[in-house]
Amino acid sequence: ESIQELRSTILQLAVQGKLVPQNPKDPPANELLQQIKEEKERLVKEGKIKKQKSLPPIEPDEVPFELPEGWEWTRLGELGQIIGGGTPKTDVPENFSANGIPWLTPADLNGLKNKYIGKGKRDISNKGLKNSSAKLLPPETVLFTSRAPIGYLAIAKNELATNQGFKSCIPYFIETNHYIYIYLQYIAPNLNKKAPGTTFKEVSGKIVAMIPIALPPLAEQHRIVAKVDQLMTLCDDLEHKKKN
């Protein structure tokens, strides 16, 4: 339990800008947001993505802590596309393949120690992909389970698809994916606590897109990710020693 608390503290310090020093020479996050906006507009113009509805600005009561200089509050849906998944009809054998498109369910992320995942227990065929709401996600997509349970996370190692238990994020700037992964780790317990549902809890794509996210400058994101990875490895070592 104490190691789990330590992990939570590391994530909290990371997303509040208290884990690594700020560098006033880093280009601020508002410049990064402008670049992301321009990239989004380019993708829309080229027909690669549909025009997204504007998300409402962050309200004062949504802000849980003060940000360091150079950081900005934004919403997850401003940083990337939020993509659901799907399941082809399981009574049609041709929808599945022994060596087809890797297809994940939340169970495939249960107990995952690695940050990356490339394959689950089953693959679907091209026909299965076409005949379902599953989407082909590019490498480096942040995979986030939105039900049964909420909050399992991984990063796609390669092209893959998921079932409907995911609301994954394809960042417009792929270099932001590891920080998004850390932020979602931090926010997941609170999201799960507030999630609607009686039989089982679930968060919609709209809820995930609306998540407020504290965005550091890109250079600082890289420093945060490196420090979190280092400290989480130490936590893994502590857990290993405790078991033995």
Helices 2-15 and 177-194: angle between axes, nearest 10 degrees: 120
pLDDT given at position 1: 73
Instruction: Give the model confidence (pLDDT) of 93-111 as tens digits.
Output: 999 999 999 999 999 999 9
pLDDT given at position 96: 97
Give the pLDDT mean for 133-137.
97
- Identify the band that residue 30 occupies on the pLDDT scale cut at 50, 70 and 90: very high
Looking at the chain, the whole-number percentage of residues with pLDDT higher than 70 is: 99
pLDDT given at position 80: 97
Instruction: Give the model confidence (pLDDT) of 37-79 as tens digits.
Output: 999 999 999 999 998 888 999 999 999 999 999 999 999 999 9
pLDDT given at position 242: 82
Of the given ranges (13-17, 163-167, 200-204, 213-217), which has the lowest mean pLDDT? Answer: 200-204
pLDDT given at position 53: 86
